[in-house]
Amino acid sequence: MSRRGLVTGLAVAVLAAALLVATWIRQAGPGTAPTVTDALPGGAAPSAEGAALAMQGNATTWGVPDGDARRALMQRYATELDEDVRGALLAELQRHPDDELRDFALELVSGGDAATRLRGYDLLAAFPLDAAEVRDAVLAGLGNERDPQVLAQVVGLAVPTVLPASDTEPMADALQALTSHRDPDVRARSVVHAAQWAEPEQARQLLTRAILDESPQVRHAAIAGVIATRAHSPQLKEALLWTASDAGTSDEQRAAAVFALQWYRLDDKEYAIYRQAERDTGGHAH
């Protein structure tokens, strides 16, 4: 991965993901420990039972070793049907990512049904991608997963990470292949991450295609990719100007295009379009 891709991928992409594509990338970074609320759909507060379970994982007065209690939580997590309770269990388990939890997650991602695999990948979010076992599982998922919902989650785990070229290239190739996936959510997530793993010229070509995608979600992802990589091309600039000025495009996407255009040299006509779109959307301010 190029120096520019690393720096902007780790710094600017955080802003892009948070402000521009939060509706389809809700992923805790590797090595982090999300809260109970983070783990629940829509950030909702857990149920009373879920909150109790989260506290239960810290208990040391049951007369049962903590390790046994934690393994009981793992097994409950693997089979729990209530989303609130499962979210609380996930948050509690991710608070202490260790080899046992990693091995349990890897066991789940090799499961025969999509729901089990999804739970495994949710657990793997607690582990860094530079761990070989985690990286191998993510690569296998990128290449083999057929369920779109699960695959989108796997793509979300493939965040840019400093790795040797021998490990970077397979990840970049797998993500690039998914930028043409039939499911727009998979395509959108793949575009943002693939652009950051790729070399600058590959990223430019990828984003130039994606910004013309039939799906607004993918086009929005392409704009986030432009912001993350600062990719430049005449085609990208034309598409950004069109998006910024199109009254039929959402204000959020138009504002994102305005933000991306700040790194382009604009002639008088283009600058007038930029300023009008900025006024229309309350986009990037000087």
**Closest to 103 (Cα-Cα) out of 64, 73, 137:** 137
**Is pLDDT larger for residue 92 or for residue 43?**
92
Q: State the alpha helices, DSSP H only, in the chain.
A: 3-10, 12-19, 36-39, 48-56, 66-79, 83-94, 99-109, 114-124, 132-144, 148-157, 165-178, 184-197, 200-210, 216-229, 234-245, 251-261, 268-281
Q: What is residue 68's predicted lDDT score, i.e. its pLDDT?
A: 87
Q: What is residue 282's predicted lDDT score, i.e. its pLDDT?
A: 81
- Residue 30: count other Cβ atoms within 10 Å of its Cβ: 18
**Is pLDDT larger for residue 14 or for residue 100?**
100
Write out pLDDT tens, residues 186-237.
999 999 999 999 999 999 999 999 999 999 999 999 999 999 999 999 999 9
Residues 6+ apart with CB under 8 A from 79: none
**Closest to 201 (Cα-Cα) out of 172, 221, 177:** 172
User: What is the model's pTM?
Assistant: 0.73
Q: What is residue 284's predicted lDDT score, i.e. its pLDDT?
A: 52
* Residue 45 scores a pLDDT above 90: no
The residue-averaged pLDDT of 32-53 equals 41
Is residue 146 packed enough to be buried (19+ CB in 10 Å), middle (13-18) or exposed (0-12)?
exposed
- Long-range contacts of 37-43, Cβ-Cβ distance < 8 Å, separation of 24 or more: 38/91, 39/87, 39/88, 39/90, 39/91, 39/94, 40/83, 40/84, 40/87, 40/88, 41/83, 41/87
Write the single-letter amino acid at 63.
G
Write the single-letter amino acid at 67.
G
Q: How many Å apart are CA 156 and CA 174, to the nearest integer? A: 13
Write out pLDDT tens, residues 146-186.
999 999 999 999 999 999 999 999 999 999 999 999 999 99
Q: What is residue 117's predicted lDDT score, i.e. its pLDDT?
A: 97
Q: With beta carbons less than 8 A apart as the criterion, state whether 95 and 34 touch.
A: no
Percent of the chain scoring above 70 in pLDDT: 76
